[in-house]
Amino acid sequence: MATLIKNGIIVSTADEFKGDILIENGKITTIGINLENHTDDIVNASGMYVLPGGIDQHTHFSFTYKNAKVRGFETSNAAAIGGTTTVIDFVNQKPGKGIVESVKEYDKNEVSNVAMVDYSFHGIVFEATNEIFEEIPTLPKEGIPTLKLFMAYKGFPYHCDDEAVFRALKASKDSGVTIMVHAENADVIDVLQKECLKKGLTDPYYHAVSRPPLVEVEATQRAINLARLADAPLYVVHVSAKEAMEAIRDANISGSSIYGETCTHYLILDTDNLAKPNFEGAKYVCSPALRSIEHRESLWKGVKKGWLNAISSDHCGFDWKVQKNMGKDDFTSIPNGAPGLQNRLGILWTFGVETGKISRQKLVDLFSTAPAKINGIDYVKGHIGIGYDADIVIYNPNTKNIISVENSLQGVDYSPYEGMTQIGNVEKVFLRGELIVDAGKYIGKVGDGKFVKGKPFGLCYEDIK
Amino acid sequence: MATLIKNGIIVSTADEFKGDILIENGKITTIGINLENHTDDIVNASGMYVLPGGIDQHTHFSFTYKNAKVRGFETSNAAAIGGTTTVIDFVNQKPGKGIVESVKEYDKNEVSNVAMVDYSFHGIVFEATNEIFEEIPTLPKEGIPTLKLFMAYKGFPYHCDDEAVFRALKASKDSGVTIMVHAENADVIDVLQKECLKKGLTDPYYHAVSRPPLVEVEATQRAINLARLADAPLYVVHVSAKEAMEAIRDANISGSSIYGETCTHYLILDTDNLAKPNFEGAKYVCSPALRSIEHRESLWKGVKKGWLNAISSDHCGFDWKVQKNMGKDDFTSIPNGAPGLQNRLGILWTFGVETGKISRQKLVDLFSTAPAKINGIDYVKGHIGIGYDADIVIYNPNTKNIISVENSLQGVDYSPYEGMTQIGNVEKVFLRGELIVDAGKYIGKVGDGKFVKGKPFGLCYEDIK
Amino acid sequence: MATLIKNGIIVSTADEFKGDILIENGKITTIGINLENHTDDIVNASGMYVLPGGIDQHTHFSFTYKNAKVRGFETSNAAAIGGTTTVIDFVNQKPGKGIVESVKEYDKNEVSNVAMVDYSFHGIVFEATNEIFEEIPTLPKEGIPTLKLFMAYKGFPYHCDDEAVFRALKASKDSGVTIMVHAENADVIDVLQKECLKKGLTDPYYHAVSRPPLVEVEATQRAINLARLADAPLYVVHVSAKEAMEAIRDANISGSSIYGETCTHYLILDTDNLAKPNFEGAKYVCSPALRSIEHRESLWKGVKKGWLNAISSDHCGFDWKVQKNMGKDDFTSIPNGAPGLQNRLGILWTFGVETGKISRQKLVDLFSTAPAKINGIDYVKGHIGIGYDADIVIYNPNTKNIISVENSLQGVDYSPYEGMTQIGNVEKVFLRGELIVDAGKYIGKVGDGKFVKGKPFGLCYEDIK
Amino acid sequence: MATLIKNGIIVSTADEFKGDILIENGKITTIGINLENHTDDIVNASGMYVLPGGIDQHTHFSFTYKNAKVRGFETSNAAAIGGTTTVIDFVNQKPGKGIVESVKEYDKNEVSNVAMVDYSFHGIVFEATNEIFEEIPTLPKEGIPTLKLFMAYKGFPYHCDDEAVFRALKASKDSGVTIMVHAENADVIDVLQKECLKKGLTDPYYHAVSRPPLVEVEATQRAINLARLADAPLYVVHVSAKEAMEAIRDANISGSSIYGETCTHYLILDTDNLAKPNFEGAKYVCSPALRSIEHRESLWKGVKKGWLNAISSDHCGFDWKVQKNMGKDDFTSIPNGAPGLQNRLGILWTFGVETGKISRQKLVDLFSTAPAKINGIDYVKGHIGIGYDADIVIYNPNTKNIISVENSLQGVDYSPYEGMTQIGNVEKVFLRGELIVDAGKYIGKVGDGKFVKGKPFGLCYEDIK
Tell how strand D118-124 and strand D84-92 pair up: parallel
Q: Which of C149, C162, C196, C228 to mutate to test the interface with D (most CBs of D within 10 A)?
A: C162
Q: How many beta-carbon pairs under 8 angstroms link B with C?
A: 78
Residue A14, chain D, CB below 8 Å: the answer is yes
* Residue at D58: amino acid letter: H
Instruction: Express each pLDDT in B106-125 by its tens digit.
Output: 999 999 999 999 999 999 99
Residue of C nearest to B20 (CA): C30
Instruction: Express each pLDDT in A41-71 by its tens digit.
Output: 999 999 999 999 999 999 999 999 999 999 9
Residues of chain B in contact with residue A215, where contact means CB-CB under 8 angstroms, are 229
Q: Is the pLDDT of residue A38 over 90?
A: no
> CA of D228 to nearest chain C CA: how many angstroms apart?
8
**Quick check: B386 and C356 CB within 8 A?**
no
Residue A293, chain D, CB below 8 Å: the answer is no
> CA of B176 to nearest chain C CA: how many angstroms apart?
18
Cβ neighbourhood burial of C67 (10 Å; 0-12, 13-18, 19+): exposed
Instruction: Express each pLDDT in B133-148 by its tens digit.
Output: 999 999 999 999 999 9
Quick one: pLDDT band at residue B344, thresholds 50, 70, 90?
very high
Residues of chain C in contact with residue B301, where contact means CB-CB under 8 angstroms, are 255
Alpha-carbon distance B314 to A298, whole Å? 44
Quick one: pLDDT band at residue B464, thresholds 50, 70, 90?
low
Least CB–CB distance from A35: residue in D30, D301, D369: D30
Predicted pLDDT of residue A226 = 98
Residue of B nearest to C255 (CA): B301
Sequence-distant (6+) residues with CB within 8 A of C322 are C68
Q: Is the pLDDT of residue A303 over 80?
A: yes
> CA of B243 to nearest chain C CA: how many angstroms apart?
14
Alpha-carbon distance D176 to D458, whole Å? 8
- Any chains having at least 3 CB pairs less than 8 A from chain D are A, C
Predicted pLDDT of residue C442 = 98
Rg (alpha carbons) of chain B, rounded to whole number: 21
Quick one: pLDDT band at residue C392, thresholds 50, 70, 90?
very high
Is the CB of residue C177 less than 8 Å from the CB of residue C203?
A: no
Q: Is the pLDDT of residue A413 over 90?
A: yes
Residues of chain A in contact with residue D32, where contact means CB-CB under 8 angstroms, are 22, 29-32, 386
**Quick check: C214 and D222 CB within 8 A?**
no
Cβ neighbourhood burial of D130 (10 Å; 0-12, 13-18, 19+): exposed
**Quick check: B162 and A188 CB within 8 A?**
yes
Q: What is the mean pLDDT of chain C?
A: 97
Angle between helices D162-172 and C186-198 (to 10 degrees): 50
**Quick check: B221 and A221 CB within 8 A?**
yes
Backbone angles phi, psi at A250, to 5 degrees: -70, -35
Residue A226, chain B, CB below 8 Å: the answer is yes
3-state secondary structure chain C: CEEEEEEEEEECCCCEEEEEEEEECCEEEEEECCCCCCCCCEEECCCCEEEECEEEEEEECCCEECCEECCCHHHCHHHHHCCEEEEEEEEECCCCCCHHHHHHHHHHHHHCCCCCCEEEEEEECCCCCHHHHHHHHHCHHHCCCEEEEECCCCCCCCECCHHHHHHHHHHHCCCCCEEEEECCCHHHHHHHHHHHHHCCCCCCHHHHHCCCHHHHHHHHHHHHHHHHHHCCCEEECCCCCHHHHHHHHHHHHCCCCEEECEEHHHHHCCHHHHCCCCCHHHHHCCCCCCCCHHHHHHHHHHHHHCCCCCEECCEECCCCCCCHHHHCCCHHHCCCCECCHHHHHHHHHHHHHCCCCCCHHHHHHHHHHHHHHHCCCCCCCCCCCCCCECCEEEEEEEEEEECCHHHCCCCCCCCCCCCCEEEEEEEEEEECCEEEEECCEECCCCCCCCECCCCCCHHHHHHHC
Q: Is the pLDDT of residue B23 over 90?
A: yes
Residue of A nearest to B216 (CA): A225
Task: Using alpha carbons, list the distances in angstroms from residue C317 to C79, C271, C333.
Answer: 12, 20, 16
Residue B228, chain A, CB below 8 Å: the answer is yes
Cβ neighbourhood burial of B206 (10 Å; 0-12, 13-18, 19+): buried
Residues of chain A in contact with residue B226, where contact means CB-CB under 8 angstroms, are 185, 188, 218
Output the CA torsion A360→A365→A368→A369 (10° steps).
130
Predicted pLDDT of residue A1 = 78
**Quick check: B191 and A166 CB within 8 A?**
yes
Whole-number percent of chain A with pLDDT over 70 = 99
> CA of D223 to nearest chain C CA: how many angstroms apart?
9
Is the CB of residue A231 less than 8 Å from the CB of residue B223?
A: no
**Quick check: C218 and D212 CB within 8 A?**
no
Q: Is the pLDDT of residue D284 over 60?
A: yes
Physical contact, D and B (3 or more Cβ pairs within 8 A): no
Map residue B250 onto helix, strand or coil. Answer: helix
Residue C12, chain B, CB below 8 Å: the answer is yes
Predicted pLDDT of residue C459 = 75
Residues 43-102 of B with CB under 8 A from C: none
Q: Is the pLDDT of residue A458 over 60?
A: yes
Residue of D nearest to C160 (CA): D187
Predicted pLDDT of residue B461 = 65
Sequence-distant (6+) residues with CB within 8 A of A430 are A3, A23, A53, A85, A390, A391, A392, A393, A436
Predicted pLDDT of residue A460 = 75
**Quick check: C301 and B22 CB within 8 A?**
no
Least CB–CB distance from C33: residue in B15, B29, B356: B29
Sequence-distant (6+) residues with CB within 8 A of D4 are D20, D21, D22, D23, D35, D37, D38, D39, D41, D42, D43
Q: What is the mean pLDDT of chain B?
A: 97
Physical contact, B and C (3 or more Cβ pairs within 8 A): yes
Predicted pLDDT of residue C465 = 47
Helix (DSSP H) and strand (DSSP E) numbers for chain A: 15, 21
Residue D15, chain A, CB below 8 Å: the answer is yes
Q: What is the mean pLDDT of chain D?
A: 97
Predicted pLDDT of residue A459 = 76
Alpha-carbon distance A102 to A158, whole Å? 14
Q: How many beta-carbon pairs under 8 angstroms link A with B?
A: 64
Instruction: Express each pLDDT in C420-465 by its tens digit.
Output: 999 999 999 999 999 999 999 999 999 999 999 999 988 776 665 4
Least CB–CB distance from B214: residue in A170, A186, A228: A228
Residues 307-366 of B with CB under 8 A from C: 356, 359
Q: What is the mean pLDDT of chain A?
A: 97
Quick one: pLDDT band at residue D57, thresholds 50, 70, 90?
very high
Least CB–CB distance from D387: residue in A12, A17, A383: A17
Quick one: pLDDT band at residue C333, thresholds 50, 70, 90?
very high
Residue D39, chain C, CB below 8 Å: the answer is no
> Which candidate, D341, D347, D442, D355, places its Cα nearest to that of D403?
D347
Instruction: Express each pLDDT in B416-442 by its tens digit.
Output: 999 999 999 999 999 999 999 999 999
What is the CB neighbour count within 10 angstroms for residue B397?
A: 15
Helix then strand then coil, in percent of chain B rounded to 5, is: 35, 25, 40
Sequence-distant (6+) residues with CB within 8 A of D431 are D53, D80, D85, D117, D118, D391, D444, D448, D449
Helix then strand then coil, in percent of chain D rounded to 5, is: 35, 25, 40
Predicted pLDDT of residue D464 = 54
> CA of B224 to nearest chain C CA: how many angstroms apart?
19
Residue of D nearest to C220 (CA): D222
* Residue at B206: amino acid letter: Y
Task: Using alpha carbons, list the distances in angstroms from residue D427 to A354, D79, D81, D434, D443.
Answer: 45, 13, 8, 14, 12
Query: ipTM of the predicted structure?
Result: 0.96
Alpha-carbon distance B451 to B86, whole Å? 9
Residue C382, chain B, CB below 8 Å: the answer is no
Whole-number percent of chain B with pLDDT over 90 = 97
Instruction: Express each pLDDT in C81-135 by its tens digit.
Output: 999 999 999 999 999 999 999 999 999 999 999 999 999 999 999 999 999 999 9
Residue D226, chain C, CB below 8 Å: the answer is yes
Residues 244-273 of B with CB under 8 A from C: 249, 252-253, 255
Predicted pLDDT of residue B50 = 98
Predicted pLDDT of residue D465 = 46
